[in-house]
Structure 1
Amino acid sequence: MNPTRHESRKIRIAAGVIADASGRLLLVRKRGTSAFMQPGGKIEPREAPLDTLMRELREELGLVIDPATTSWLGLFSATAANEPDSTVEAELFALSIDGQPIAA
């Protein structure tokens, strides 16, 4: 008899490693949670990962990003911090910002 294998749910996101001119990194935290993470969000159906990142940064932090200033870092996977029994698969981009982020 084979043991039951628990399959976790996969969440596809785009996120940014964002530094300012001083080299400080921007991290965010969802209200009511304790884990800090790179800003970004869930990739919508038929949406390119970079488009997702640009949309999320505009909606959540008021940042307008020039896609030419981003560098793709890779695809990374980890256990989700805020969603039980889930794995996050992140398309990660590096970019710098000049403006001041404003949390929505």
Structure 2
Amino acid sequence: MVDKIAWLHLHGGRLLSTRSRGKDRYYLPGGKREAGETDTQALVREIKEELTVDLDPASLAHVGTWDAPAHGHPEGVLVRMTCYRARYAGHLRPAAEIEELAWLTYRDRPRVSAVDQLIFDSLRERGLLAE
């Protein structure tokens, strides 16, 4: 099981997504915890590294947790994605391994990983993600 934390940032019915250098899929911004990190610590660190903005830890709100086959891993490997919403300060810019930022709608579902597709479905069902 690959255990990841992700930030769900919606604006105008579109969801912020990222594409890393050399990757063919978009992924929600976030990443893996380092030893001893809480979800909050890991997410704040990852978003600062990847997008150059500061999440407001006090505003973190759990949205959901989803499991699916891990994209780019051997068959049978699953990813568990725990997602949070949060306010931020600063200007969104790609950094570290992130090559591109994109604002995606439900039409972009085929362009994201399997676990992100489940999240897209859930957000659309809740009326949060535009068609």
In the superposition, the TM-score normalised over structure 1's length comes to 0.78
Identical-residue share of aligned pairs (%): 32
Q: Which residues of structure 2 form unaligned runs of 5+?
A: 96-131
Find the counterpart in structure 1 of residue 83 from structure 2.
92
The runs of at least 4 consecutive aligned structure 1 residues that moved more than 4 Å come to: none
Find the counterpart in structure 1 of residue 53 from structure 2.
63
TM superposition shift of 1:23:
4.3
TM superposition shift of 1:98:
5.6
Find the counterpart in structure 2 of residue 7 from structure 1.
none
Counterpart AA for 1:72: H
- How many matched pairs? 94
TM superposition shift of 1:96:
4.3
Calculate the aligned-residue CA RMSD, in Å: 1.7
In the superposition, the TM-score normalised over structure 2's length comes to 0.63
* Residues in 1 aligned to 2:74 and 2:21: alpha-carbon distance in whole angstroms: 17
Q: Highest Rg: 1 or 2?
A: 1
Matching residue within 10, 13, 20 for 1:19:
10
Find the counterpart in structure 2 of residue 102 from structure 1.
93
* Residues in 1 aligned to 2:36 and 2:67: alpha-carbon distance in whole angstroms: 20
